[in-house]
Structures are given as C-alpha cells and as structure tokens.
Amino acid sequence: MRDRVLAPFLSLPPALRAARFPVSPDQTMDFLAGVGALGPRDIDNVYRAARALFAIPPERVGEFDAIFRAIFFGQSLAADATGEEGDETLAVEPTGERVEIELDERAEDEPGEMASAAERLSARALAPLGDSDTLAAFSRDAPHRLPRRRTRRRAASKRGDRIDLRRTLRAALRQDGEIFTLPRSRRRMRQRPIVLMVDVSGSMKERSEAHLQLGHALAQAADRAEIFTLGTRLTRITSALAPADRAQALARVAATVADLDGGTRIGEALQAFLSVPRYAGLARGALVVLLSDGLERGAPDAMADAVARLSRLAWRLHWLTPLAADPDYRPETEAMRIVAPMLDALEDGNSVSAITAHLLSVARAA
C-alpha cells in the first residue's frame, strides 16, 4: 500500500527529465522532503509544491500540467492531428472518456525590459575580481557591526536588569548565609541571522560575480548567514561558499549554479524558497537582503505574494538594486511597483562598497 502511495511522487521527477525539464537530484530531494513536511491535504498542495520546487518555466506550464495529470490522475494528452496550437487540449481519462482542459498562458507579455523569462542553463568560470580592499574592510568590521538581537540566555553583568538569583544563593552558601552584593544579569546578544539572495540572471551579469564575492565574505564573517542565488530557479550556495579561499569557493559556486546569466523569474524562485519549510525557517527573524534589479519576467502576482509572505517572516526585508544609484529612481516594472510598499528598504545596490556600507549600517538605523 505504501509503495502505491509513493509511486506518483517518485515517478514525477523522471517524467519531467524525460520531457527535457532541467530537474536536478537536489530539486527531487527537496520536493519529496517538502511534500513530507507540508503534509498536503489535497492534490493542489502537491501541484503547487512541484511547480515551485522544480522551477517550471511559465512558457512550459501547460506541458508540466499534462505530465502532472498523467501521473497523478492517469490522464494522457491526445495529440493534435492538425498541428495547430489552441487554448484547449484533450485529456484522456483512464475510463476512456475525453475531457477538455485549459492550458496556462500567464507567461505572456509581462514587463521586464532586458529581463528574460526563458530558462537558459549555462556555466562559466567565476574568478575573484577587484574590491578586495572593500571586502577586507567588510570582513574586519562585520563581526561587531552586523545587526544583533537579544537571546533568551542570560549572562553576568554589573549593570544587568535583573538580579541573578542562582549566583546570589551560591555566594550566600560560601559566606555562611551573608549576602554582601547582589549579582545581576542581562540577556546575551547574538548576531542576527542574515539571508542574502543574489540575482544571477542575464540582466545582472555585470554585477553577479562581484555579488557572489560579497556573499563569500559575508558567509565567512557572519555567525549565521545563508546565501542563495535567484534566476530561473533557486539555488542554495552556502555550503559552496564554505572554503576560506575565495577562488576555490567561487569555483564551487560555478559548478553548483546552473542558471547563471539566464532568465529572470524572481517570484517563482522566492515561492520555491518559501515552499521548503527549512528554507522559510531561515528567514524567520532574519535580515533578508535581495540584490536584484527587479526586472521580473514572471507573473507579478507570484512575486507580490512571495514578497508579502517574506516580509512577515523576516525582521527586515531590504531590496538593493543598481537602478537606485539614480536619486530619481522610481520602480517601473509592475511587479516592483506592487512590492515596493512591502519592503523595509529599497536602496542603492550599484556597487559592492554601497552594499557593504548598507549592511554595516542596518543595526544603527534599526
């Protein structure tokens, strides 16, 4: 019985790969883990999780729907003998009955100027660039200038806000019941978690390499930092950035990220982030920073929904865009106009020095 229940979930990734969808083993594992953690109540939850985690391109949603229906409902698509494309197609039920289903066409004519919705998987070498002095200064200042928060644990302090009863009683035992001073304590401070999301799409090609170097510096300097890339899919690169040697770390990132210089689907990548419980948990109470020009080519509603949910989870949600280097910058794409009021900051991300200065000033501003 258990094998029959698991069969559709295990069959979906190979079927997508057979249809030339770029489904990686990591995405397969995340899909299975996500479905197990979510405990879906209906098939719609499974569909949404699969579409988000496999980063289905908008222009291929109809093809994905057909494969999904074939596996989970036993349907198969009837071929169109005319070869003409239409708004509807036929699905054959296991009983032999034919029903009409609509294909999704939401990917057409979204704003985005230079951005592209098409997924183009590629690889290129990443090598350390300039800004070494800026990154060195950031690495030196980050441990004591990145935002911090109070923990529930307490530590001894002469000017604490509470009497330390345990230390007081221990002192009384050593001094035959006499209490000469009242030890005090205060809550310990700990660096607040940081989630950095780097846009590696084609429209950010000139800056993505420098931003990945900044991600490496942050991963090395911060107590708790998680780094992701956004393009046509979501990729966690925290472990790839673990080596202290920057050239080695960038080489590992280049081997990990499959959508460098590809299309732009920020909304779907953020939806994928939020659909995995262990990823969404990283954003809870964290400083979440997106380095992107915001030229979204996916559906604006998907990006708006994801940013709204992310803003409720995060301590602060900051969007740093190179377009904001212009003092007169105003969001122009439909998606950015919708999400701008949900952000805690929409500021200049034109250079590494501007980004590092912003990160180090967050604690003081807050």
What confidence score (pLDDT) does residue 203 get? 87
What gap in Å lies between CA 352 and CA 134, rounded to an integer?
A: 8
Give the chain's residues under pLDDT 70. Answer: 1-5, 38-41, 74-131, 366
What confidence score (pLDDT) does residue 104 get? 42
pLDDT digits (tens, 9 = 90+) for 158-204: 777 788 888 888 888 888 777 777 888 877 878 999 999 999 988 89
What confidence score (pLDDT) does residue 339 get? 94
Stretch(es) of the chain classified as CATH 3.40.50.410:
132-144+192-365
pLDDT digits (tens, 9 = 90+) for 7-46: 888 888 888 888 878 777 778 887 878 777 766 667 888 8
With beta carbons less than 8 A apart as the criterion, state whether 213 and 251 touch. no
Q: Which residues contact 348 (CB under 8 A, 6 or more apart)?
A: 320, 321, 322, 324, 325, 354, 358
Give just the sign of the alpha carbon dihedral 95, 97, 99, 104.
positive
| Residue of 357, 284, 285, 283 whose CA lies nearest to 320 | 357
- Per-residue H/E/C for the chain: CHHHHHHHHHHHHHHHHHCCCCCCHHHHHHHHHHHHHHCCCCHHHHHHHHHHHCCCCHHHHHHHHHHHHHHHCCCEECCCCCCCCCCEEEEECCCCCEEEEECCCCCCCCCCCCCCCCCCCECCCCCCCCCHHHHHHHHHHHHHHCCEEEEEEEEECCCCCEECHHHHHHHHHHCCCCCCCCCEEEEEEEECCEEEEEECEHHHHHHHHHHHHHHHHHHHHCCCEEEEEECCCEEECCCCCCCCCHHHHHHHHHHHCCECCECCCHHHHHHHHHHCHHHHHHHCCCEEEEECCCCCCCCHHHHHHHHHHHHHHCCEEEEEEHHHHCCCCCCCCHHHHHHHHHCCEEEECCCHHHHHHHHHHHHHHC
What gap in Å lies between CA 252 and CA 225, rounded to an integer?
A: 18
What confidence score (pLDDT) does residue 40 get? 60
| Residue of 280, 241, 237, 215 whose CA lies nearest to 52 | 280
What confidence score (pLDDT) does residue 244 get? 92
Pick the CATH number of 132-144+192-365 from 3.30.70.580, 3.40.50.410, 3.40.50.880, 1.10.238.10: 3.40.50.410
Confidence (pTM): 0.62
What confidence score (pLDDT) does residue 41 get? 64
